[in-house]
Structure 1
Amino acid sequence: MKVAFLTPEFPHEKTLPSAGIGASIFNLSKGLILLNHSVIVIVYGQDRDEVIQEKGLTIFKVKNVKFKGFSLFLTQKKVERLINDLYITGKIDIVEAPDWTGFTSFLNVKSPLIIKLHGSDAYFCHLDNRPVKFKNKFLEKLALRRADGVIAVSKFVGQLTSKVFNLNLTFNVIPNAIDIKLFNPNETEENNCILYFGTLIRKKGVLEIPQIFNEVHKVLPNVQLILVGKDASDIKTGKASTWQLMRDRFSTNAKPQVQYRGQVPYTEIKNYINRASVCIFPSFAEALPVSWLEAMAMKKAIVASNIGWAGEMITNTKEGILVDPRDYKAFSKAIVNILNDVTLQNNLGEAASVKVKKMFDLEVIAQKNIDFYKTLVNNV
Structure 2
Amino acid sequence: MHIGFLLPEYPHKKITTACAGIGTSSKNIILGILKENHQVSVFIYGQDCTEIIKEGNLTIHKIKKNQFKYFGFYLYRKQLNTYINKIISEDKIDLLEAVDWTGITAFMKFKIPHVLRLHGTDAFFCNLDKRPQSKKNYFFEKVAYKNATAVIGVSDFVLQLSNKIFKVEKIGTVIPNGLFFETIPTHTDVIVKENTILYFGSIIRKKGILELAAIFNKVILERPDTKLSFLGIDVPDVQTKTSTLGLFKDLLSAEALTNFEYLGVVPYNELTKVIAKTQICVFPSLAESFGMVTIEAMYLKKAIVNTNYSWAKEIIKNEETGLLEDPKNHDGFASKIIQLLDDKSLCKKIGERAHKEVVENFSIKIITTKNITFYKKNIANEV
Equivalent in the alignment of 2:226: 223
Equivalent in the alignment of 1:372: 374
Give the CA deviation at 1:239: 3.2
Equivalent in the alignment of 2:284: 282
Q: Does residue 211 of structure 1 match 2:227?
A: no
CA distance in 1, matches of 2:40, 2:321: 33
* Cα distance change of structure 1 residues 166 and 307 upon mapping to structure 2, 3 Å threshold: same
The percentage of aligned residue pairs carrying the same residue is 42
Whether the aligned pair in 2 keeps the contact of 1:64 and 1:71 (CA below 8 Å) is: no
- Of 347, 350, 353, which residue of structure 1 is paired with 2:352? 350
Give the CA deviation at 1:267: 4.0
Whether the aligned pair in 2 keeps the contact of 1:65 and 1:72 (CA below 8 Å) is: no
TM-score (norm 1): 0.97
Whether the aligned pair in 2 keeps the contact of 1:197 and 1:228 (CA below 8 Å) is: yes
Deviations along 1:182-208, one digit per CA (max 9) or x if unpaired, are 235223213121000011111000001
Whether the aligned pair in 2 keeps the contact of 1:176 and 1:290 (CA below 8 Å) is: yes
Flag structure 1 segments of 5+ consecutive residues without an equivalent: none
Give the CA deviation at 1:55: 5.6
DSSP-derived class of the 1:105 partner: coil
CA distance in 1, matches of 2:281, 2:131: 28
Give the CA deviation at 1:340: 1.4
Equivalent in the alignment of 1:71: 72
Equivalent in the alignment of 2:243: 241
DSSP-derived class of the 1:143 partner: helix
Whether the aligned pair in 2 keeps the contact of 1:279 and 1:303 (CA below 8 Å) is: yes
Q: Does residue 80 of structure 1 match 2:81?
A: yes
TM-score (norm 2): 0.96
1:9 partner letter: E
Give the CA deviation at 1:253: 1.1
DSSP-derived class of the 1:296 partner: helix
Equivalent in the alignment of 1:18: 19
Equivalent in the alignment of 1:61: 62
1:124-203 alignment runs, 5 A limit: 124-187=125-188, 188-192=190-194, 193-203=196-206
Give the CA deviation at 1:124: 0.1
1:268 partner letter: E
Whether the aligned pair in 1 keeps the contact of 2:150 and 2:170 (CA below 8 Å) is: no
Flag structure 2 segments of 5+ consecutive residues without an equivalent: none
Deviations along 1:257-300, one digit per CA (max 9) or x if unpaired, are 10012222344321221111111000010000111111111111
Give the CA deviation at 1:68: 2.0
CA distance in 2, matches of 1:167, 1:142: 10
Deviations along 1:152-202, one digit per CA (max 9) or x if unpaired, are 110000111111112222210011111122235223213121000011111
Whether the aligned pair in 2 keeps the contact of 1:185 and 1:299 (CA below 8 Å) is: no
Q: Does residue 9 of structure 1 match 2:9?
A: yes
1:240 partner letter: T
* Cα distance change of structure 1 residues 150 and 57 upon mapping to structure 2, 3 Å threshold: same
Give the CA deviation at 1:82: 2.4
Give the aligned length. 379
DSSP-derived class of the 1:89 partner: helix
Deviations along 1:2-24, one digit per CA (max 9) or x if unpaired, are 11110111111221111111111
